[in-house]
């Protein structure tokens, strides 16, 4: 009986072992199935069309601003170049005008007759207001009259006129031919001790014509202590054929 009981106990233990193994296999299969459950990924939201349009508008606005800055910079550069060109052109025109005046002056000197021999210094007498006055003739050239635009020039009186002279006899002439410039008034003066000026005037008109006009005068002026003869011209500068000269022809 004890042997049969042992066999029954072993058989029961084997059954319990098989039940336990089956349970363990079932749990393992259930865990594996749990691991094989598919993972569902979240669905991405569709793009926002309004945001895309706003991004495009922002990019286009930035591009337009850059183009406007480029156009403004180019316009400023062109204005600067135009101003520089105008300044250079004005300089060339001034140089051309100066060169033409120099050429005209040289042409007058070339075409002018040779200077007369210096007059022999001698003493002469004249009667004025029943008073006898003595003068000494000289021939001292002081150059041309100014061209115009209020130009003022101070010509030094040469040493041929002594400091003891009280007055100088000034000769001035102007001749105009085919010349542009309109009316001119030339002023010849000396400064007095009180600061005022003693003067006389020549009048000349420049206009296109096939003839020449002349004006000249001889006037006694006080001998200035600063030994300067003042020449001034009012009117548009002459352009064309004209000439002038100023001389001191006597003193007393």
Same domain, 96 and 190: no
- Report pLDDT for 159: 92
Same domain, 157 and 231: yes
Domain for residue 176, yes or no? yes
The number of folded domains in the chain is 2
Domain for residue 201, yes or no? yes
Domain for residue 66, yes or no? no
Q: Which residue has the higher pLDDT, 8 or 232?
A: 232
Same domain, 84 and 171: no
3 state SS for the chain: CHHHHHHHHHHHHHHHHHHHHHHHHHHHHHHHHHHCCCCCCCCCCCCCHHHHHHHHHHHHHHHHHHHHHHHHHHHHHHHHHHHHHHHHHHHHHHHHHHHHHHHHHHHHHHHCCCCCCCCCCCCEEEEECCEEEEEEEEEEECCCCCCCCCCEEEEECCCCCCCCCCEEEEEEEEEEEEEECEEEEEEEEEECCCCCEEEEEEEEEEECCCCCEEEEEEEEEECCCCCEEEEEEECCCCEEEEEEEEEEEEEC
Tens of pLDDT along 129-157?
Answer: 444 458 899 999 999 998 888 889 999 99
Range(s) of the domain holding residue 91:
79-112
Domain for residue 239, yes or no? yes
Mean pLDDT on 83-89: 88
CATH number at residue 151: 2.60.120
């Amino acid at each position: 009986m004890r042997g049969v009981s042992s066999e029954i106990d072993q058989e029961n233990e084997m059954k319990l072992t098989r039940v336990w193994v089956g349970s363990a296999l079932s749990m393992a299969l259930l865990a594996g199935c749990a691991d094989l459950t598919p993972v569902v990924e979240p669905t991405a939201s569709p793009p926002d069309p309004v945001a895309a349009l706003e991004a495009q508008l922002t990019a286009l606005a930035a591009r337009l601003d850059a183009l406007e800055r480029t156009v403004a910079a180019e316009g400023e550069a062109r204005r600067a170049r135009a101003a520089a060109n105008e300044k250079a052109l004005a300089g060339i025109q001034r140089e051309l005008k100066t060169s033409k005046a120099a050429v005209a002056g040289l042409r007058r000197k070339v075409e002018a007759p040779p200077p007369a021999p210096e007059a022999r210094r001698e003493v002469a007498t004249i009667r004025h207001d029943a008073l006898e006055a003595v003068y000494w003739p000289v021939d001292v050239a002081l150059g041309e009259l100014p061209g115009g635009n209020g130009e003022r020039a101070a010509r030094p009186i040469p040493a041929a006129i002594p400091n003891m002279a009280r007055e100088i006899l000034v000769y001035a002439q102007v001749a105009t031919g085919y010349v542009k410039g309109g009316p001119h008034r030339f002023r010849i003066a000396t400064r007095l001790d009180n600061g005022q000026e003693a003067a006389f005037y020549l009048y000349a008109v420049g206009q296109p014509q096939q003839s020449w006009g002349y004006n000249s005068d001889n006037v006694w002026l006080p001998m200035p202590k600063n030994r300067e003869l003042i020449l001034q011209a009012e009117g548009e500068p002459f352009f064309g054929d004209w000439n002038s000269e100023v001389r001191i022809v006597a003193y007393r």
